[in-house]
């Protein structure tokens, strides 16, 4: 058991029988009354974000979490198959536990958050930015760069994103996996 004074961003705790990760927190010491901690928590089982207030004297259960490197192998009806980069063991992860499954491609390295005591995967995080090739988009009009217009484009995994008008089919672009938005052209 730990005190609420130990709360920090990224800490994983157990609350009401479920694992949560602290996204943000604020220690509040009002002029009158006891101190408390306002937090924003992400449920690691289903991804929902909620706000919770802890009393200053409350105790919290910290859970052991491990970050492990895994490589994406393939997808089938059972789920997404990954291989541990250290011992080559394979695991299957459900789609709901992956932050951006539409951008997964074979051979991509990901970080998998594991509940160390139960040895089960909680979250699979893709890299913040991924390089993808544009497999289809309408041709751009030469000289039409004055506006910030976007057009639909399909990437190699089949996901659809919006790109600027000057991007052509066959080009590689960087995509932010958190938002699914085009960032810039990929420079190799």
50-65 per-position pLDDT tens digit: 999 999 888 999 998 8
- 2.40.50.140, 1.20.120.140, 1.20.59.10, 1.10.3680.10: CATH of 65-125: 2.40.50.140
Top-tier CATH class for 2-62 = mainly beta
Q: Give residue limits of the domains in the chain.
A: 2-62, 65-125, 129-185
**Domain 129-185, what architecture?**
Beta Barrel (2.40)
Phi, psi of 51 (to 5 degrees): -105, 140
Report pLDDT digits (tens) over 119-129.
Answer: 888 888 899 99
Intrachain domains 2-62 and 129-185 with the same fold: no
Give the pLDDT band (50/70/90) at residue 118.
confident
Cα 96 to Cα 164: distance, rounded to the nearest angstrom: 30
Residue 48 burial class via C-beta count within 10 angstroms: exposed 0-12, middle 13-18, buried 19 and up: exposed
pLDDT averaged over the chain?
A: 89
Q: How far is CA 147 from CA 1, 21, 136, 151, 164, in A?
A: 56, 41, 22, 12, 9
Cα 57 to Cα 21: distance, rounded to the nearest angstrom: 20
């Amino acid at each position: 058991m730990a005190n609420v004074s130990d709360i920090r961003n990224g800490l994983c705790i157990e609350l009401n029988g479920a694992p949560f990760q602290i996204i943000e927190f604020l220690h509040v010491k009002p002029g009158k009354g006891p101190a408390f901690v306002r937090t924003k928590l992400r449920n690691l089982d289903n991804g929902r974000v909620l706000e919770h207030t802890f009393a200053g004297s409350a105790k919290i259960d910290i859970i052991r979490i491990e970050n492990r490197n895994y490589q994406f192998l393939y997808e089938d009806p059972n789920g997404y198959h990954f291989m541990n980069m250290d011992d080559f063991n394979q695991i299957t992860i459900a789609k709901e536990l992956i932050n951006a499954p539409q951008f997964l491609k074979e051979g991509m390295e990901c970080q998998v958050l594991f509940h160390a005591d139960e040895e089960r995967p909680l979250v699979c995080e893709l890299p913040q930015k991924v390089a993808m090739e544009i497999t289809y988009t309408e041709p751009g009009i030469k000289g039409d760069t004055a506006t910030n217009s976007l057009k639909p484009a399909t990437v190699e995994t089949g996901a659809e994103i919006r790109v600027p008008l000057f991007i052509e089919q066959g080009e590689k672009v960087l995509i932010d996996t958190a938002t699914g938005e085009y960032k810039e052209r990929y420079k190799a």
